[in-house]
């Protein structure tokens, strides 16, 4: 089955390959990514839907959007080292959620869903955080971190839910939705 991933994320492009029966093409959506939804789950589904409908491609089109929520605050991608430090200060020493909304469409028919995973960070470690920020890795990731980045492993105390969701795409959820179109 052919699927177009409406995303520029290299992590999503890698994760979608876990579904072997999909023939995947990647085409970034170019969607504006604006939502007025106040609930994070509604917001990521809205954004994922915008992305899925912004791409004109044959077959299935998949849009996805991930949001990190800590203490009720939505954390997008940091735009400066200062913002990245602020995000780590908010994340460290507590549990936060990572919510990914997905929209799978075929023509005008579409289905949406979202996945929520909880990540428990240990205490703030200035050396790890500063080295990570200096690497440039926080700046293309919601919440300013990648769970898959080995240098952060000492700070991650636990994950409750789907690991792939934290990386950027809940592949089991996508596979379940895709089966509805076969």
Catalytic residue among 46, 65, 162, 164: 65
Would residue 39 show up in a list of annotated catalytic residues for this protein? no
| Adjacent-strand bridge partners of 68 | 75, 98
Residue 30, classed as helix, strand or coil, is coil
Instruction: State which H helix or E strand residue 90 sits in.
Output: helix 81-91
Structure tokens at 11: 């992590």
* Residue owning tokens 């409406």: 6
93 Ramachandran zone, left/alpha/beta (phi>0; psi -120 to 50): left
> Buried (b) or exposed (e) across 40-56, using 16+ Cβ within 10 A?
bbebbbbbbbbbbbbbe
| Adjacent-strand bridge partners of 25 | 4
Q: Which sequence positions are flagged as catalytic?
A: 65
């Amino acid at each position: 089955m052919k699927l177009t991933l409406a995303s520029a994320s290299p992590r999503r492009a890698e994760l979608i390959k876990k579904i072997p029966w999909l023939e995947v093409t990647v085409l970034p959506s170019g969607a504006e990514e604006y939502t007025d939804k106040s609930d994070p789950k509604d917001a990521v589904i809205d954004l994922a839907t915008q992305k899925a409908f912004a791409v004109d491609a044959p077959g299935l089109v998949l849009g996805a959007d991930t949001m990190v929520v800590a203490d009720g605050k939505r954390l997008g991608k940091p735009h400066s080292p200062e913002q990245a430090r602020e995000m780590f200060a908010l994340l460290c020493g507590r549990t936060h959620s990572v919510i990914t909304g997905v929209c799978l469409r075929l023509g005008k028919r579409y289905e949406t869903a979202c996945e929520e995973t909880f990540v428990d960070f240990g205490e703030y470690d200035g050396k790890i955080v500063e080295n990570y920020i200096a690497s440039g890795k926080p700046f293309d990731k919601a919440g300013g971190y990648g769970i898959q980045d080995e240098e952060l492993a000492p700070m991650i105390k636990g994950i409750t839910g789907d690991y792939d969701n934290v990386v950027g795409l809940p592949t089991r959820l996508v596979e379940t939705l895709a089966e509805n179109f076969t």
